[in-house]
Structures are given as structure tokens and as C-alpha cells.
Amino acid sequence: MHAPVFAALGHPARLALVARLSGGEPSSISRLTAGSRMTRQAVTKHLRVLEGAGIVRSKHAGREKLFEYDAAPIAGLRDYLDRVSAQWDRTLARLKSFVEE
Amino acid sequence: MHAPVFAALGHPARLALVARLSGGEPSSISRLTAGSRMTRQAVTKHLRVLEGAGIVRSKHAGREKLFEYDAAPIAGLRDYLDRVSAQWDRTLARLKSFVEE
DNA sequence: CTAATATGCAACCAGGAGGTTGCGGAAATG
DNA sequence: CATTTCCGCAACCTCCTGGTTGCATATTAG
């Protein structure tokens, strides 16, 4: 269920894009390309991957395409990782009590 | 920094392996293969990816190779996602106060 | 209108991901 | 010792990823 979102975050360039968009206003493609060592097309492809995972939405504004952050998928990831950690804590407790028997 | 860990979780088969290993005892490759619709070699490859990301450790026990969960990388991911969410919350608050001015 | 800017689309490419099969070796079983 | 079980290595295949380049289109600026 969550694998596509994880995969979308599994690239440093996309992680950097998420960091920028989650900490600022919606931004256009060329603005996101400036300061990156990639081509505009490469940035576009990464943004499409992020949009496919729902992490980012896009809207048109004149000749620009603005991308903005959507917090929901990453919130879902946090919940999932919390559940994994909680399950692991229970596993540890169970193994410990088993050793102590 | 965290991108390789995200990438390692970006495949349903590996997510399922993590779920199994975080909720039970260390398990061997053939045990993890049973109940999966994959070949043993495919499972081995996925386990290697997880081990490369540090999510899983392996130790030999006779002719078996046991894999066990390591909680540290996923805990690091949780912290990272918490920071992203907190940054987003601050961004929202800042935009809201800007609109209200 | 012309020029500059922002984007999209398509082709192309190298390399890696995911998966299978076949074979060989080490360890437990009988 | 013979057999089964568990595993590693290597070759091979297909498809996707990440990236570039070139060209076409829409929008804004002068």
C-alpha cells in the first residue's frame, strides 16, 4: 500500500524537492531547476513521480506550472512506521519474557 | 542521507519482509520464501537490498542464514518524516498569518 | 508583432532492478 | 555413505529509471 510513496522518496533529488516544497510556497519548475545540477526535464520527471505518489500537487498559473506540497501521504507513512516500530517493541518484549522464563 | 532506506522500502515484497521480520523471530531464507509467490533467489535479492540499507542483519546458523530486524534505520526515517511534517506545519502557520495581515 | 520565457512531448541511451534458471557446495538427516 | 535441505554464484532476460537533447507550443514582455 505504502510502497509507491516510499519509492518516490527513494531518490536524493526527490527528497530535496520535497524538502523545498514542504518548507516554502508553491514553486514553478524552472525555479526548482535553478540551484539544481539537473536539467529542467530531469526535474520535471522527478516532480511527476512525486505527483504520482500524491506527495505533490500541480496547478497551472499562466505559463507556469506550480507545484505544492501535500502532507497526507507522508503523514500516512509516519503512521505506518509508527506501527512497525510498535510491533517491533512488542516483539522485543515478548522475546525478553521468553528468555526470562 | 535517508534516500537509500526509503528506496529499500519502496517495493511491496520488501515491505512484506520487513513486516514479517519486525513482528517475529529471526528467520531463514527458505522460511521467508515459503508463503511467498517468489523464487528463493528473488527473496535473497530483496533481503540483500534490505541488508544494504541496514534495515536487516544476517547471521549464519549452521546451514541456514538467519535474518533479523534492526530498528535503527526506520527510527531514523521516523525522525526525518517528523521534521518534514513539523516544517510543513510551520509553513502553513506562516502562510496563514501572512494572509491574515 | 517580435522576442524571451516556461513548459510539454518524443526519441534516445546507458545502466540498474527484478526476476528466472541452472549448477555447485556445505550442512543436516537417515 | 547417500540423500535431502539450504544456500551462493553466475548467466541471462526484460523492463523501468534517470538523464540528456531537440523541437514544438503557449504565455508574457518590450
Locate the chain B residue with the closest alpha carbon to A90. B23
For residue B64, which of B36, B30, B40, B41 has the smallest C-alpha distance? B30
Q: Containing H/E element for A65?
A: strand A64-69
How many angstroms separate the CA of A6 from the C1' of D9?
30
Domains along the sequence of chain A with CATH: 3-100 (1.10.10.10)
Q: How far is Cα B42 from Cα B8, in angstroms, rounded to an integer?
A: 14
- A91/B10 CB distance under 8 A: no
Chain A residue set in contact with B, beta carbons under 8 Å: 2-4, 6-12, 14-15, 18-19, 22-25, 69, 71, 74-75, 77-78, 81-82, 84-85, 87-88, 90-91, 95
For residue B69, which of A33, A85, A98 has the smallest C-alpha distance? A85
CB-strand contact A63/C, under 7 Å? yes
Residue B35 has a pLDDT of 80
How many angstroms separate the CA of B3 from the C1' of D28?
38
In tens, the pLDDT along B18-59 reads 999 999 899 999 999 998 999 999 999 999 999 999 999 999
Q: How far is Cα B8 from Cα A24, in angstroms, rounded to an integer?
A: 28
Residue A100 has a pLDDT of 56
Residue B98 has a pLDDT of 67
Phi, psi dihedral angles at B95 (to 5 degrees) = -65, -35
CB-strand contact B12/C, under 7 Å? no
Q: How far is Cα B12 from Cα B64, in angstroms, rounded to an integer?
A: 25
Residues 6+ apart with CB under 8 A from A2: A76, A77, A80, B9, B15
In tens, the pLDDT along A42-95 reads 999 999 999 999 999 999 999 999 999 999 999 999 999 999 999 999 999 887
How many angstroms separate the CA of B99 from the C1' of C25?
71
The upper half-sphere exposure of residue A86, i.e. CA atoms within 13 Å in the direction of its Cβ, equals 6
Q: How confident is the model at residue A96 (pLDDT cuts 50, 70, 90)?
A: confident
Asked if residue A84 lies in contact with residue B74, where contact means CB atoms within 8 angstroms, the answer is: yes
Q: How confident is the model at residue B99 (pLDDT cuts 50, 70, 90)?
A: low
Q: How far is Cα B31 from Cα A40, in angstroms, rounded to an integer?
A: 47
Asked if residue B94 lies in contact with residue B86, where contact means CB atoms within 8 angstroms, the answer is: no
Q: Is the pLDDT reported for residue A15 higher than 60?
A: yes
Residue B96 has a pLDDT of 74
Asked if residue A2 lies in contact with residue B15, where contact means CB atoms within 8 angstroms, the answer is: yes
In tens, the pLDDT along B63-91 reads 999 999 999 999 999 999 999 999 999 99
Residue B95 has a pLDDT of 78
Taking the C1' atom of every nucleotide in all shown strands and the CA of B64, the nearest one is: D6
Q: How far is Cα A36 from Cα A42, in angstroms, rounded to an integer?
A: 10
C-alpha dihedral, A22 to A25 to A28 to A32, nearest 10°: -50
CB-strand contact B62/C, under 7 Å? yes
Residue B97 has a pLDDT of 76
Protein-proximal nucleotides of chain D (any atom < 7 Å from a CB): 5-11, 17-22, 26-28
